[in-house]
Amino acid sequence: MLPSEISLAEELGVSIGTLRKAFDRLETERLLIRRQGRGTFVTNRASEEMLMRFTRIRDSAGRPLRNEAQPLEQSQGPADVLEQERLRLTAEDTVLRTRRLRCHTGRPLTYEESRLALARFPGMDEGRVPHDYRITALAQRYGLHLEHACERVSLAEATGEVAHLLSVESGKGLLRLDRVIYATHDQPIEWRIALCNLGEHSYFADMR
């Protein structure tokens, strides 16, 4: 927790108004969190709360779903044409490809395929990236600030392995989420496609 605004303004030799403007900007960039009656805190960029920024699946009460990741496969190689386009890479750049199954209370919920742009993580040893990595924790570890994400929502049919993994019949309708997460300076760092069997859950977007 940071000191009070009055104490911090005095320590820095600036006016309260100047300090509050700076805090407003840092809060907009999600570097600070203000909690009424509790104070101002520096954001833990690896926290569950930060991770939930990029997750839109909710339960019937509107709460984010906690899930467990089941690793399926991980590999690396030169970026293909589509990966180059979505992550703004060249054919010489390497991507880390990860497949996972996410379950909620033991029920298969989401099949994921993600692509990580290794060039955006200086000094990363791709052999040490866990299959169930959290993008927020990974970004914090390598000094990246996650700014925003863009997600395309569409429908798809369950087929083959995906139908088997999600325990649904072939042809069942699934929600398809195509998401890119961006770091500072609008740099795309992760592209993920998820196929979701929502069941009683829903996709929630706050339009404010």
Domains 5-42 and 61-203 equal at CATH topology level:
no
**pLDDT of amino acid 43:** 56
Domain parsing of the chain, residue ranges: 5-42, 61-203
**pLDDT of amino acid 154:** 97
CATH fold for the domain made of 5-42: Arc Repressor Mutant, subunit A (1.10.10)
Tokens of residue 168, six digits: 């649904």
Domain made up of 61-203: CATH architecture: 3-Layer(aba) Sandwich (3.40)
**pLDDT of amino acid 46:** 41
**pLDDT of amino acid 25:** 67
Q: Which of 131, 68, 129, 70 is nearest to 98 (CA)?
A: 131
**pLDDT of amino acid 29:** 55
Tokens of residue 50, six digits: 């930060």
Distant-in-sequence, close-in-space partners of 76: CB < 8 Å, separation ≥ 6: 94, 95, 96, 97, 118, 126
**pLDDT of amino acid 75:** 93
**pLDDT of amino acid 47:** 45
The rounded average pLDDT for each run of 10 residues, N- to C-terminus, in the chain (208 residues) is 68 76 63 59 50 75 83 94 97 95 93 95 74 84 86 96 96 96 93 95 82
